[in-house]
């Protein structure tokens, strides 16, 4: 290599080494500190600052009173309807003293009711005669032609009772089942009311109470024969053990539609009427 080139390069390197700053630590720390202060100040500007208010020692808060309402407020809801009060008292007696106990069936009642006898017979063979014991078991099909022409079939049908007969109707019949007695009636335990409907004349009509009570056959369901005018009447008894609403359904296998009734049974007291 040419000495004329090497010598100037060496001289330049030596000059740079001599004149280059030595990197004083104090200066470096100072620069770092300055940078940190700038960052902190920037962050403080970004975050909201809570103003430092000095309280006024003479300040007194002003109390604003709400205007009094002129409407009189009732603290409790009070029933004033005599019927509602009577029903509430009926429930109170039932809950506190009990609704009473349904009397047992007697031999005399069994002897006078063919339909009751059919139910007792069904208890001995519930698998065969389950439809006589529960509204959840479908009733035997009704044959209108046999009922009109076969005396034995008609007698057997009227001498038995099935609670699910109230679900049997004839949607194509020209006869519409109609309610003749009030939808709602009240009865005192031990007394009775009458439920009447209009259906096809001389055809069977059935009734079922889904809430106790009993009918003239000493059951909660019954089948009767409508008279020549189509009227079928049932006697419902308010029994000890029954209270409040009894939901009742009526239908005929040869008429359109069903009829619902409600009988409210009151627990007998000294003031019962």
CA torsion angle for 30, 35, 36, 40 (degrees, to 10)? Answer: 140
pTM: 0.71
Q: What is the pLDDT of residues 48-92, one digit of tens each?
A: 555 565 667 777 777 777 777 666 666 666 767 888 888 889 999
Q: Tell me whether strands 231-237 and 192-198 are parallel, antiparallel or unpaired.
A: antiparallel
CB count within 10 Å of CB 54 equals 5
CA distance 164 to 134: 7
What whole-number distance in Å separates Cα of residue 121 and Cα of residue 127? 12
Q: Give the C-alpha separation, 189 to 183, whole Å.
A: 19
3-state secondary structure at position 111: helix
Per CATH, the architecture of 84-266 is what?
Answer: Sandwich (2.60)
**Percentage of the chain surpassing pLDDT 70?**
77
Q: In a 3-state reduction of DSSP, which class is residue 95?
A: helix
End-to-end CA distance of the chain: 141
110-128 residue pLDDT tens: 999 999 999 999 999 999 9
SS3 call for 64: coil
In angstroms, the CA 163 to CA 132 distance is: 7
What pLDDT is recorded for position 52?
A: 61
How far apart, in Å, are the Cα atoms of 91 and each of 2, 66, 81, 180? Answer: 128, 44, 16, 29
R_g of the chain computed on alpha carbons: 48
Q: Select, from the ranges 24-28, 29-33, 92-96, the one with the highest average predicted confidence (pLDDT).
A: 92-96
Residue range 194-249, pLDDT digits in tens = 999 999 999 999 999 999 999 999 999 999 999 999 999 999 999 999 999 999 99
What residue ranges do the domains of the chain occupy?
A: 84-266
pLDDT of 26 strictly over 50: no
Record the tokens describing residue 211, joined without a space: 């809430």
Cβ contact 171:227 at 8 Å: no
Model confidence over 164-187: pLDDT tens digits?
A: 999 999 999 999 999 999 999 999
């Amino acid at each position: 290599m040419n000495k004329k080139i090497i010598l100037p390069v060496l001289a330049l390197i030596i000059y740079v080494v001599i004149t280059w700053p030595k990197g004083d630590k104090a200066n470096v720390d100072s620069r770092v500190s300055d940078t940190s202060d700038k960052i902190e100040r920037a962050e403080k500007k970004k975050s909201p600052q809570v103003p430092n208010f000095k309280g006024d020692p003479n300040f007194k808060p002003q109390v604003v009173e709400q205007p009094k309402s002129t409407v009189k407020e009732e603290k409790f809801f009070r029933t004033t309807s005599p019927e509602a009060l009577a029903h509430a008292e009926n429930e109170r007696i039932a809950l506190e003293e009990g609704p009473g106990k349904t009397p047992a069936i007697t031999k005399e009642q069994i002897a006078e009711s063919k339909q009751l006898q059919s139910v007792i017979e069904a208890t001995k063979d519930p698998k065969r005669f389950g439809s006589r014991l529960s509204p959840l078991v479908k009733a035997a099909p009704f044959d209108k032609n046999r009922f009109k022409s076969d005396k034995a079939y008609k007698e057997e049908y009227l001498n038995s009772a099935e609670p699910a007969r109230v679900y049997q109707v004839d949607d194509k019949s020209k006869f519409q089942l109609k309610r003749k007695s009030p939808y709602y009636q009240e009865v005192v335990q031990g007394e009775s009311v009458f439920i009447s409907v209009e259906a096809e004349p001389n055809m069977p009509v059935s009734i079922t109470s889904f809430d106790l009570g009993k009918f003239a056959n000493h059951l909660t369901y019954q089948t009767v024969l409508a008279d020549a005018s189509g009227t079928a009447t049932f006697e419902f008894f308010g029994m000890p053990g029954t209270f409040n609403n009894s939901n009742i359904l009526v239908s005929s296998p040869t008429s359109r539609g069903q009829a619902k009734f409600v009988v409210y049974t009151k627990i007998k007291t000294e003031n019962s009427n």
